[in-house]
Amino acid sequence: MKAAARAFWLRSPGKGELRDIALPAPGKDEVLVRSLYSGVSRGTETLVFRGQVPESQHAAMRAPFQEGDFPGPVKYGYLSVGLVEEGPAALKGRTVFCLYPHQTRYVVPASAVTVVPDDVPARRAVLAGTVETAVNALWDAAPLVGDRIAVVGGGMVGSSVAALLARFPGVRVQLVDADPARAETAEALGVGFASPADALGDCDLVVHASATEQGLARSLELLSAEGTVLELSWYGDRKVSLPLGEAFHSRRLVIRSSQVGTVSPARGNRSYGDRLALALKLLADPVLDALITGESAFEELPEVMPLLASGEIPALCHLVRYGKSA
């Protein structure tokens, strides 16, 4: 017998809807997961919702269990936590994380889910995908003891990076954002805070995650000679201008990209599974609850997503909760 489920779909840019679907019975090496929570990443997901994925990036931007195509109709998302209702004995009844869109129940290969550690609450576990991005970024950046570091852009990804950097010995970490409300987030994460104009310079490393042209330009200004900007922002279909004249070459500055789609070459001996398992382990720290700043029911997503995309609902990670009968 097929199980019933409901899924959130982007019908067309700016317009979402819930669709009823039927699920097949799980096969021998598959699991049936009942969703407990999912997370909306305001960066990538709102770009998708607004229809701003460039045609050249349609293939690269596909989520693991995406259905449909950009700009829509498309079922998109990748931060899901649920309970295994059917599947192998080792997984049945366990709470798991999966890179799945917003849906009440789903069937996936057992290899596609990762067990959430017992000391990580299910609602916090939705952050695993973003903390995984931060882990990969720090593998790329390779910060050293005592480094002077700025994280420009206090959104979900930037704040995750700052939270991990706060654990490095002897570093000076400052979260830089134009929104003064991010000072509260920085304090919760145990790092300093500054507006772009007041940020400390002479940085060995600047991690840029504001997704703005101004933020990237300011990141270059904050570097010491031979310093590096690690670029985490994804700009969708927008073009970005950079001030690469003046002292850019004489100071031997570096701009380096990082993206979670591949495991950092600096950790070529690690798999995607290793990286995700590490991210989930790091989520045992309750400090990371500061990254969840909004919550609504799954049934409200068609009304909530436009507000998240426009910024009317300010959020880092917006939590979507599912009822017990989901």
State the span(s) of the chain assigned CATH 3.90.180.10.
2-118+283-319
CATH code for the structural domain at 129-265: 3.40.50.720
Amino acid at 135: V
Mean pLDDT over 222-234 rounds to 95
Question: Could you tell me if 285 and 161 are in contact, meaning their C-beta atoms sit under 8 angstroms apart?
Answer: no
Locate CATH 3.40.50.720 in the chain. Answer: 129-265
Give the three-class secondary structure for 110.
helix
**pLDDT score at 326:** 47
Report pLDDT for 151.
Answer: 98
Structure token pair of residue 28: 């021998």
pLDDT, residue 260, reads 84
d(CA 325, CA 59): 35
Q: Average pLDDT for residues 146-172, to the nearest whole number?
A: 96
Nearest-angstrom CA–CA distance, 47 and 235: 9
Owner of token pair 């590490």: 278
Pairing mode, strands 203-208 and 223-231: parallel
Element (H, E) at 106: strand 105-109
The residue assigned the tokens 């950097």 is 165
User: Encoding tokens for residue 256?
Assistant: 């380096």
Q: What is the pTM of this model?
A: 0.90
For the stretch 49-108, pLDDT in tens is: 999 888 888 988 899 999 999 999 999 999 999 999 999 999 999 999 999 999 999 999
* CA-wise closest residue to 210 among 158, 136, 250: 158
Q: What is the pLDDT of residue 1?
A: 53
Residue 83 and residue 99: Cα distance in Å, rounded?
A: 14
2-118+283-319 folds as Quinone Oxidoreductase; Chain A, domain 1 (3.90.180)
CA nearest to 250, candidates 212, 223, 219 = 223
- What whole-number distance in Å separates Cα of residue 308 and Cα of residue 43? 10
As a whole number, mean pLDDT of residues 213-224 equals 96
